[in-house]
Amino acid sequence: MQGISRRHFFGAVCGGCLAVREGFRATPVQAQAGGTAAAAGPVRTSRFGPNDTLGNMNLLTPQKVQEAARLVTQGRAYPMGIVVDRSTPAFPPRSVGVTVLMPGQEGGQTFGNNKMSYVDDMISGWLGVGTQIDTFAHLGVDYTFYNGNKAQDFVRTTGVTKLGVENVPPMVTRGVLVDLAKFKGKPRLDGGELVTADELRQAMQQQNVRVTPGDAVVLHTGWLSTLPENPKRFGDEEPGIDGAGAQLLAGMQPCAVGADTWGVECVPFKDPNVVWQGHQILLAQNGIHILENLDTSALVRDGVSEFMFTLGQPRYRGAVQAIINPVAIR
């Protein structure tokens, strides 16, 4: 059982890591597709036109922003970003750390008669750690990304030349939260627990969550509470949706889909030969951003299911992800 699930996990999930750990490669390019890989067709042209790079961010009209602001009735702001450090589990081989120093102040020196002292900080590591946004440049189908952009045309070692994180406009919109743990009647879902499209639909119905175009949809599974308890387990698996669930959500036209898990989708995958299909459907086929490791705990504790969602991500030129801290306000 353990053996099987590990095989599923490593066989399917992990790119660089599995190669390193096991000398094993996920289905190579010459593999013949089975019947399940619905998304593995060519990426279609965006309904916003062949030159569009914004996807459903196009739906963030002034009306939408105003609607979002009107949701602020209590005056409470919730940080949805988690704290990241060297020990934060992440998709291998990712990690990140900061180093702090006091430049030019060796031996107790200060600057000026006013004795200025200062601390500076360096960062080194990967951007896909902790709470993060996946841009359309992050994941695609057979080297083709959102709106038909080919890796060969825009992926460069010094940064992507299109679809980069610097181009994502402010995400100010209505946010809605679906409490999947509550729906399933437990404090948190299990690792590898799939929330089917049907269950997702039911949960939303039951909890009266209606998505309107341009919303940010946030799924609460409770899984993030595993992180402090068992970081390794947290990073090895997760509950979540699959391709069908992503398709269901895409039909509702949100600007973003997020969760309190590191990958939104159920891992290990149910079919180990179909990996991150939900990402393909959301990012590549529908122009919908993905938000991972969102801290939903306080929102759920306070019974919040609708809120003003705000996100201004750091604008590194050519990056495909960013470590973020969206703020939910209600």
Q: Hey, which residues between 289 and 318 contact a copy of itself (CB under 8 A)?
A: 308, 310-318
Q: Is 111 in the site for a copy of itself (CB under 8 A)?
A: yes
Closest CB 86 distance from a copy of itself, rounded Å:
7
| 204 CB-near residues (< 8 Å, 6+ apart) | 178, 210, 211
Nearer to a copy of itself, 1 or 29 (CB): 29
Instruction: Please report, as residue ranges, which positions from 1 to 20 form the binding site for a copy of itself (by CB under 8 A).
Output: 12, 14-20
Spatial separation of the C-alpha atoms in residues 290 and 257, rounded to whole Å: 5
| 250 CB-near residues (< 8 Å, 6+ apart) | 281, 282, 285, 286, 288
Nearer to a copy of itself, 120 or 198 (CB): 120
Nearer to a copy of itself, 59 or 181 (CB): 59
Q: Is 116 in the site for a copy of itself (CB under 8 A)?
A: yes
Bridge partners of 99? Answer: 122
> Which string of x and - marks every residue 243-272 that binds a copy of itself (by CB under 8 A)?
-----------------------------x
Stretch that binds a copy of itself, among 175-183, 211-219, 245-253, 275-283 (CB under 8 A): 275-283
Closest CB 257 distance from a copy of itself, rounded Å:
17
Spatial separation of the C-alpha atoms in residues 81 and 277, rounded to whole Å: 25
Stretch that binds a copy of itself, among 146-154, 222-230, 249-257, 297-305 (CB under 8 A): 146-154
Q: For the chain, how big is the Rg over CA atoms in Å?
A: 20
| 316 CB-near residues (< 8 Å, 6+ apart) | 127, 159, 164, 165, 166, 322
Q: Is 319 in the site for a copy of itself (CB under 8 A)?
A: yes
Spatial separation of the C-alpha atoms in residues 265 and 241, rounded to whole Å: 5
Stretch that binds a copy of itself, among 142-150, 176-184, 190-198, 213-221 (CB under 8 A): 142-150
Stretch that binds a copy of itself, among 159-167, 198-206, 213-221, 247-255 (CB under 8 A): 159-167
Spatial separation of the C-alpha atoms in residues 57 and 46, rounded to whole Å: 12
3-state secondary structure of 106: helix
Instruction: Please report, as residue ranges, which positions from 21 to 60 form the binding site for a copy of itself (by CB under 8 A).
Output: 23, 25-29, 31-34, 36-40, 60
DSSP string, 223-249: GGGHHHH-HHHHHH-B-BB-HHHHHHH
Q: Is 73 in the site for a copy of itself (CB under 8 A)?
A: yes
The continuous run of DSSP H or E covering 301 comes out as helix 297-301
